[in-house]
Amino acid sequence: MAERVIPLIDQRLAALGATLPALPIAANGLLADSLGRPLRDLRISVTDRCNFRCSYCMPKEVFDKDHQYLPHASLLSFEEITRLARQFLAHGVRKIRLTGGEPLLRKNLEILVEQLAALRTMDGTPPELTLTTNGSLLARKAQALKAAGLQRVTVSLDGLDDAIFRRMNDVDFPVADVLEGIAAARAAGLGPIKVNMVVKRGTNDDQILPMARHFRGSGVVLRFIEYMDVGATNGWRMDEVMPSAEVRARIATELPLLQLDPSAPGETAERWGYADGSGEIGLISSVTQAFCGDCNRARLSTEGRLYLCLFAGNGYDLRALLRGGAGDAELASAVGHIWQGRGDRYSQLRGTLAAGPGGAPKRRVEMSYIGG
């Protein structure tokens, strides 16, 4: 096998100024981007740190013991995150997802959850408040998160075979501890729980059926995610992508499936139910079946950069406005101005985009920095 060259690119250097438009943009819940897509989903990274070293996200050869994480002073405080979230809700956001890195590594995260749970959407209801985690700390945190107002969790789990899982997280973390975290989340009422499995051909695709068997009938929604070309450090190759159609076919050989209707506009997962009514799975096909057309998600990095696409190369610096004395109306207007100019649809254009200099991958933000 040819040796892979994995470039080291510090995506944190990429930033665009968040400017105030000449004419204020009202926060009335009607905001749309240049392709007519509304803003409904905000994903907030609360830390750039993670205790796993999954090869598709934070490969150990790049994120080694000498890797420099952001200093604490650079991170948005909980109060700053909450203030920004309030402006996004005023523009129509209904769902807030906390992510990372590994969000449960952020100290006292329950305080932020409590602050966000007290906010209200344009129609006066609490936002849907969720969290994505690798599950390593979930057993000890689940009850406190639920008490603070978190509604549900999504857990990343790439296989049930302990040896395969330890190799994939690359820190020798046992699968039993993640399963314990899922059980604790269920006991705390953080549901419906979703479990995300990133499928890499030749690495963990033999875990597809064991995972389906394990979670079928449990109330947990298992979702299979195509291995994506996020960032520039994971050594992504198309021949390691297993298309969702192939995943579905493999499951259907043993567990017949029926397609279900989407549960919400802009949903990333295609839903399939077991024919016997014992649950459902999701298929996230960001490589083979682009779903950019109705993407309604924005991403806020841990240091206050607003990204308009998971595959973006630049973020807009909202922290500078926050700490520069901008009022709430000005912050909302800046967010509105940025979203109105959004035309991102990377997955639809993937095959037509040119590579960077020398054939290297174009500069893109790392998933570990803004979350999935």
Tens-digit pLDDT profile for residues 312-345: 878 999 999 999 999 999 999 999 999 999 987 7
Q: Is residue 2 part of a domain?
A: no
Whether the Cβ atoms of residue 128 and residue 112 lie closer than 8 Å to each other = no
Q: Is residue 6 part of a domain?
A: no
- Lookup: tokens for 353: 């985009």
Range of the domain at 287: 11-370
CATH code of residue 244: 3.20.20.70
Q: Is residue 84 part of a domain?
A: yes
Question: How many domains does the structure of the chain reveal?
Answer: 1
Q: Is residue 77 part of a domain?
A: yes
| pLDDT at res. 290 | 67
Whether the Cβ atoms of residue 57 and residue 370 lie closer than 8 Å to each other = no
| pLDDT at res. 319 | 97
The DSSP H or E segment spanning 152 is: strand 152-156
- Lookup: tokens for 33: 């981007």
Q: Is residue 202 part of a domain?
A: yes
Q: Is residue 271 part of a domain?
A: yes
Q: Is residue 113 part of a domain?
A: yes
Q: Is residue 327 part of a domain?
A: yes
pLDDT digits (tens, 9 = 90+) for 114-135: 999 999 999 999 999 999 999 9
Whether 102 shows a pLDDT value over 50: the answer reads yes
| Bridge partners, residue 244, by sequence | none
Helices (H), the chain: 78-90, 109-117, 138-148, 162-169, 175-188, 208-215, 244-252, 318-323, 328-340, 346-349, 367-370
pLDDT digits (tens, 9 = 90+) for 230-247: 655 556 688 899 999 999
pLDDT digits (tens, 9 = 90+) for 262-287: 887 767 889 999 999 999 999 998 88
pLDDT digits (tens, 9 = 90+) for 149-172: 999 999 999 999 999 999 999 999
How many angstroms separate the most distant Cα atoms in the chain? 60
Any idea how long the chain is?
372
